[in-house]
Amino acid sequence: MKEPAIRRPRSILITGASSGIGEALALEYAAPGVRLALSGRSEKRIARVAKACRAKAATVDAVALDVADEHAMRQWIERVDGQGPLDLVIANAGISGGTSSGGEADAQVRRIFDININGVLNTVLPAIPGMQGRGGGQIAVMSSVASFRGFPGAPAYSASKAAVRAYGEALRGALRADGIKVSVICPGFVRSRITRANKFKMPLLMDADRAARIIQRGLAADKSRIAFPFPTYFTAWLTGALPPALTDPFFRKLPEK
C-alpha cells in the first residue's frame, strides 16, 4: 500500500545539521523550491551537508554557529526569517557526556546544559515572534527517551533532555492559540557522532536517515510527541513511571554514557 504524501514545509531551519539526525533531516527535506537554513559547529561539516542539499536543488543558507551564543543565534534567525518566513524550526543541536573525554566532569556538565537547554531557547525564542505575527508555523525540539528517567551514567544529559521535553510539551499548549504547532522528538539510539562515543551495546540502534523519515512523518501529522522506536520508548516511559525504589538497582548496573 502506497504511503500518503507528506506535507512539506518550504522554509526550514535546522540546528545541529552538520551530522547525525540533523544532517539526515536536512537531506530529507532538501528538494526543489525548499529553502534550508542550516547551522552546525563545524564549518567543514556544515559546508559538506549544504553542498549535498544543493545537489538536491534546495536553496541553502549554511553557517557555522554555536547554539549557546544567544546574540549570534538571534541575529542569524531573524535574518533568515526576514528573507523568507520560516515554516518549520527544528532545535536539534545537542551533546552528551560521551562527546568529549572525561565524561560528565564539571565543565562538561555545564556545557551539556548550555548546549542542550540554552541552545534550544536560543533557537526557539527568536523564531516565535515572526510565527505569531503570521499566525502560523511549526517548532520541533529534540529531547530523548533518556528524558523519562535520570540515568546515573549521564545525569546532565538526562536532565537537560527532560527539561527540553517539559518545555516543548508546555509550549505546545501555550502557542496553540497563535496557530503555532509544537512537537517534542524523543529518539532512542540513532547512529551519530554522539552514539559513536558509546562503548556499550545500544539496543535497537537505528540509522539516522530512517530516524529522519519517522520525524518528518510525525511533524507532518502534528504529533505532540514523536518517540521511537516503540520498545525503547515504552521501556523508558515505564521505568520513569515506576517508583525509584524498584528501578534504582537496575539503573546502578547500566554503563556510563
Is the distance from CB of 211 to CB of 192 less than 8 angstroms?
Answer: no
Count the neighbouring beta carbons within 10 Å of the beta carbon of residue 109.
17
Residue of 29, 157, 167, 233 with catalytic role: 157
Residue 105 has a pLDDT of 83
**Any idea what DSSP says for residue 74?**
H
- Residue 167 a catalytic site member: no
Residue 97 has a pLDDT of 74
Residue 189 has a pLDDT of 86
* Residue that the C-alpha cell 501529522 belongs to: 221
With a CB cutoff of 8 Å and minimum separation 6, the contacts of 5 are: none
Q: Which residues of 186-207 are buried (b: 16+ CB within 10 A; e: fewer)?
A: bbbbbbbbbbeebeeeeeeebe
Half-sphere exposure of 71 (CA within 13 A, CB side): 0
Residue 247 has a pLDDT of 79
Q: Which CATH number fits domain 11-251: 3.40.640.10, 3.40.50.720, 3.90.1150.10, 3.40.50.2300?
A: 3.40.50.720
Residue 101 has a pLDDT of 46
Q: How confident is the model over 208-221, as pLDDT tens digits? A: 999 999 999 999 99
Is the distance from CB of 148 to CB of 239 less than 8 angstroms?
Answer: yes
DSSP 25-62: HHHHH--TT-EEEEEES-HHHHHHHHHHHHTTT-EEEE
Helices 20-29 and 43-54: angle between axes, nearest 10 degrees: 20
Nearest to 39 by CA among 94, 2, 84, 87: 94
Residue 7 has a pLDDT of 67
Residue 167 has a pLDDT of 98
Residues of the chain with pLDDT under 50: 1, 4, 99-101
User: For the chain, which residues make up each domain, given as ranges?
Assistant: 11-251
